[in-house]
Amino acid sequence: MIRKLKSGLVLVMMFCSLAANAQQDTATALFEKLRTRLDVIKDYVADVRIKIDVSFMKVPPLSGKLYFKAPDKMKLERNGGISILPKKNINLTLNSMFPVGGVTVIDAGTDVVNGKAVRIIKVVPEGESDIILTKIWVDEQRNLALRTETTTRDNGTVKMDLAFDKHIKQGLPDKVTVHLDVKEYKLPKGVTMDYDANERVRAADKGDKKNKKGKIEINYINYEVNKGLPDKIFAEKD
Amino acid sequence: MANIVEVQGLSKSFGGFKAVDDLSFSICKGDIYGFLGQNGAGKSTTIRMLLGLIHPDAGEIFINGANFRNNRKRSLQQIGAIVERPDLYGYLSAWDNLKIFAKLSRKHIPDVRIEEVLDIVGLRGREHDKVKAYSQGMKQRLGIAISLVHDPELLVLDEPTNGLDPQGIAEMRELVRTLGTQMGKTILISSHLLYEMEQVATNMLIIHKGKKIVEGKVSELLNPNETLFEVRILPDDAIAEKLETKGWGQYMEESNSSELVFRMHPRKMPGLNKFLVEQDVHVLEIKSRHSLEAYFLSLTNQANAEAGAI
Amino acid sequence: MLRLELYKIFRRPRTYISFLIMTAVTLLIQVAMYVDGTSFVSFAMQGVGEQFAISGNILNGYLVTYLVLQSLLVHIPLLVALVAGDVLAGEANMGTMRLLLTKPVTRNNVVLVKYIASIAYAMLLLVWLAVVGLGLSLLVFGTGDMINLKSDAFIMLLENDIMWRYMLAFAFAGLAMATVAALAVFLSVFADNSIGPIIGTMGVIVVLTIFSNLEIPLFNLVKPYLFTTHMIAWKGFFDDPVPYDAIMKSVMVLVVYIVLFISATMVIFNRKDIQS
């Protein structure tokens, strides 16, 4: 009897181990599937409309062209107009959230994003990388990343939400929302000599300023994919 | 004759100092009205009140029958004035100054009128020079041109000979005479140059310490029998007695061995001169002290004496 | 009479000196921006630059003009006071006041006309500033989106959304300078020499500007009533959204000050004995 129980236990343990291994493999496979899909996109030019929602910034929606070239070149062009993007090292494209080279992928469970059931995987680069860890919420059915949370060495944690619609076939999002941590902004009043329009409004604003979060919403109107963009587009103008 | 100016009970104090005290006078059409007084007597203050530059504490001013207080614009249209020295826009030319002040008169003044007044005051040919380059005499004449340009009935000239040299004073005198006699202007002219006033004024008012001392026609106020003559001679101790003996003593005001002062009609001077020559008196100089000056001094000294007595 | 006053003002060399001074200061600022504007912009945007990458034609004509306006609207009151402070005191000093007032013009008219002539001069000064400041800056530095840094906000305005703001800002600056002119004319009635009113006007503006800008609770009580607090309302046109209510309030305050200054001038001038 005891021998039967012991065998049964071993079998269950072996099954669990196999199953666990199967889950791990599935997570890695899931990541590889995603990365493969992304790797198809070598470059693109997209007409974008960017909304900046940061407490101390009053910026109207900015229209422009977003240029991307794999693996990490990106530029926003506004015909001489002013472009405002988070610090240089935070690349706004999904590709930048995906570490290149060897990675360890860990299954981190499931979740629901915008009503869709998703698998969460954690990706840890094996070699030298600015990225320490990327957490990805994956829509398994459509092979799409709906959310990423990337922790980098120098730039803290960047969260991105992605929405897909018109360009779903190419796996390219219609809208990307980047969530940022922002520091308080202050300049001496004696220098700026502000016109204080309304003290009450200012007091209300102050409440928001204590909230140190901000977000940038990029709406992709259209894409031109894999047109062979030259590197000189991304060169810094003096 | 109608009064162009009627002043009734005019008074003005500055702090505790009474500059003009219950002054009344009137100016008829066609008068050349001399306004006399020592420095600080109240002449300029009175003239400034007449022109609305200073607000009187009491009294009324009428210009051609209309109360100045209620008809300021209409009254000033009938007046042309220089108040003390005529300060003008030095950075502009005489022509420009005339155009500006002509426009301010609220009358249409054509360029030909401006040329006319320039001719009257003798500034033609210099009208486009900047005023800051003008001599004092030229500025005074330009001031008169400005006061004339809108053809006013009444000219008010406050010390028009200020700063002028003897030739300038003589020219100003002639100009005033021309304006009064030939152009029929009524003129109120204030001055402390009594000889000049005597030459041009038909009427006069003497003011002393803000009060009127006397007012009237010059011809009636100044008695030729009151003319003073000063005669300087080589010293002669007996001359006073000689003059008394021959009846000249009644005209003698003062005498000493070398200087004699007579008060008499100028017609008597040849007779006196002949007598002195016959008496072997050596006459060095005969000088007449102007009648208006004498009259003025006598009045003001009398007023001072009365004030002292009070 | 207004034409005569303008004629007198524009026949004086000092009037053109004002335009020259303004041109020189504007050109100096533009040259400085041309040579070293990038470092200035980087320095000014340190706070935002730490967190955001900002690129494009930042140092464009609109930003340079804003900097010119910011500095010059401190200096222009002096240039306005140079003329407005002279309108009554200068005539008294020259001696032409007594000749002027023996003409059939009311004293109220004299004050009003001289004030309007001062405003006309101030407006021309601002038009010239628009030409040299805005026009030349756009020519040299080009156009683009404009960045406006407030003490607690970073504002960006799109290129096609800026020109109308400048039109209104200049119009408001005109009202602000009209207030300065009213103060200068008011002080001019007390003096027989224009130096006093000119220095007096600048002194009042400097002292009240300090009150308007120091963050001291006691001063906060009076700030809303000071015209210097409201003179900088032109900046509101470069805010997002534009605080129209606050700007209208500033307009009303400045208009009230103008009415008060000029009314007081008329009352005092009418009662004044002209002894100069």
Give the three-class secondary structure for B286: strand
Q: How many CA atoms lie within 13 A of C256 on its CB side?
A: 10
Write phi, then psi, for B42 (nearest 5 degrees): 120, 10
Mean pLDDT of A107-133: 86
Categorize the per-residue pLDDT at A10 as very low, low, confident or very high, splitting at 50, 70 and 90: low
Candidates A92, A183, A185, A195: best to mutate against C (most CBs of C within 10 A) is A195
pLDDT value, residue A205:
47
Are A195 and C233 within 8 A, CB to CB?
Answer: yes
- Which pLDDT band holds residue A203 (cuts at 50, 70, 90)? very low
- Kindly calculate the radius of gyration of chain B based on its CA atoms and give it in whole angstroms: 23
Query: Of A23-27, B173-177, C153-157, where does mean pLDDT reach its minimum?
Result: A23-27
Q: What is the pLDDT of residue C247?
A: 95
Catalogue the long-range contacts made by A164-172 (C-beta closer than 8 Å, 24 or more residues apart). Answer: A167/A220, A167/A223, A168/A142, A168/A144, A170/A40, A170/A41, A170/A223, A170/A225, A171/A37, A171/A38, A171/A40, A171/A41, A171/A143, A171/A144, A172/A41, A172/A44, A172/A46, A172/A220, A172/A223, A172/A225
Residue-wise pLDDT tens digits, B81-102: 988 877 888 888 999 999 988 8
Rounded Cα gap, residues C215 and C211, in angstroms: 8
CB-based contact B53 C101, cutoff 8 Å: yes
Confidence check: pLDDT of B70 > 70? yes
Candidates A158, A194, A208, A237: best to mutate against C (most CBs of C within 10 A) is A194
In the block, residue with structure tokens 């007579």: B262
B183-196: average pLDDT: 84
Return the bridge partners of A177, or none. A161, A217
The answer to pTM > 0.90 is no
Q: What is the pLDDT of residue C162?
A: 93
The strand pair at B252-255 and B186-191 is best described as unpaired
Which chain C residues contact residue B55 at CB under 8 A? 271, 273
> pLDDT confidence of B80, banded at 50, 70, 90?
very high
Query: Exposed, middle or buried by CB within 10 Å (0-12, 13-18, 19+), for B151?
Result: middle
For residue A166, count other CB atoms closer than 10 A to its CB. 13
Closest CB to C47 among A81, A187, A202: A187
Nearest CA in chain C to B90: C94
Q: Do chains C and B touch (3 or more CB pairs under 8 A)?
A: yes
Q: Which of C149, C156, C160, C234 should we substitute to test contact with A (largest number of A Cβ atoms within 10 Å)?
A: C156
CA distance to partner chain B, nearest, from residue C118 (Å): 18
Q: What is the mean pLDDT of residues B267-292?
A: 84
**Mean pLDDT value across residues B114-140:** 88
What is the average pLDDT across B250-256? 84
Partner chains of C (3+ C-beta pairs under 8 Å): A, B
The top-scoring range by mean pLDDT among A81-90, B49-58, B83-92, C88-97 is B49-58
Q: Which residues contact B251 (CB under 8 A, 6 or more apart)?
A: B262, B263, B264, B268, B272
Comparing CB atoms, the residue among B81, B85, B92 nearest residue C11 is: B92
- Mean confidence (pLDDT) of chain C: 90
> Which of the two residues, A3 and B310, has the higher pLDDT score?
A3
What pLDDT sits at residue B25? 92
Tell me the C-alpha distance between C101 and C81, whole Å.
23
Q: What per-residue confidence (pLDDT) applies to B75? A: 92
Contacts of C267 in chain B (CB under 8 A): none
B52-73: burial string, b at 16+ Cβ within 10 Å, e else: bbbebeebebbbbeeebeebbe
Span B21-44, average pLDDT: 89
Q: Coil, strand, or helix at residue C231?
A: helix
Contacts of C211 in chain A (CB under 8 A): none
Q: For residue C95, give how far its alpha carbon lies from the nearest alpha carbon of chain B (Å).
A: 5
CB B188 within 8 A of CB B78: no
Confirm or reject contact between C55 and chain A (CB < 8 A). Answer: yes
User: Is B94 an interface residue toward C (CB < 8 Å)?
Assistant: no
Residues of chain A whose C-beta is under 8 A from some C-beta in C? 56-60, 62, 76, 78, 80-88, 180, 182-183, 185-195, 197-198, 201-202, 205, 209
pLDDT for residue A214 is more than 50: yes
For residue C259 the two structure tokens come to 């009415």
**Section B175-191 average pLDDT:** 87
Ranges A8-17, B128-137, B166-175, C112-121, most confident: C112-121
DSSP H helices, C85-226, are 89-94, 96-101, 107-129, 136-141, 163-188, 195-213, 217-222
CATH code for the structural domain at A2-229 = 2.50.20
Instruction: Check CB contact under 8 Å for A188 and C151.
Output: yes
Mean pLDDT, residues C158-181 taken together: 94
B133 touching C, CB under 8 A? no
Give chain B's domains with CATH numbers.
Answer: 3-219 (3.40.50.300), 224-292 (3.30.70)
pLDDT in tens, A95-106: 666 767 788 888
Mean pLDDT of B226-243: 85
Helix (H, G, I), strand (E, B) or coil at A82: coil
Phi/psi class of residue A81: alpha, beta or left (left: φ > 0; alpha: ψ in -120 to 50)?
Answer: beta
User: Which of the pair, C258 or B222, is modelled with greater confidence?
Assistant: C258
CA-based nearest residue to A173, from A79, A41, A76, A26: A41
Q: Is C210 on the interface with A (CB under 8 A)?
A: no
B292 vs B36, which has greater pLDDT? B36
Residues of A in contact with C58 (CB under 8 A): 82
Angstroms from C148 CA to nearest CA on chain A: 10
> Predicted confidence band at A204 (pLDDT cuts at 50, 70, 90)?
very low
**Chain A touched by C61 (CB under 8 Å):** no
pLDDT band with cut points at 50, 70 and 90 for residue A21: low
Question: What residues of chain C lie within 8 A of the CB of A192, using their CB?
Answer: 149-151
